[in-house]
Amino acid sequence: MPTPRELMQIAVRVLDNKKAKDIKVLQTSDVTILADYFILCTAGSTTQIKTLTDEVSKALSEAGEPPLRTEGYRGGGWVLVDFGAVVVHLFLKDIREFYALERLWRDAREVDISDLIEKENTDPVTDKGLV
């Protein structure tokens, strides 16, 4: 059975592979009993939110941790997928900004996930994104 950290890592990789934006992970184990990790990300459309929800649910189910519940799937602007130790929040940009969970959970430590996500294509000379 994977650890909460391993589940978080699987989820982050899946979300990154499916082009989720602004992925952030908060380690919440010291500030709440709700979960060990909150994963927050932004999608460009409700269709992408549904795809991200389906893919992260499939990957973690295959790892032995099916979702306990999914909220907001039909509404589409904010979907919460609860895996027990890991809770994934998928947002449209304006809804994420409105609810500002990063601010609400500011006492939680942000986890460095730079080794889990792919770097965007950058120009090695200017270090700016390539089009």
What is the CA angle 89-49-119, rounded to 5? 80
Number of domains in the chain: 1
Is the C-alpha dihedral spanning 49, 42, 90, 12 positive or negative?
positive
Domain extent at residue 49 = 4-110
With cut-offs at 50, 70 and 90, classify the pLDDT of residue 75: confident
Q: Is residue 32 part of a domain?
A: yes
pTM given for the model: 0.88
Q: Is residue 125 part of a domain?
A: no
pLDDT tens for residues 81-127? 999 999 999 999 999 999 999 999 999 999 999 999 986 544 444 44
Q: Is residue 120 part of a domain?
A: no
CATH of the domain at 36: 3.30.460.10
Q: Is residue 56 part of a domain?
A: yes
pLDDT above 70 (res 13): yes
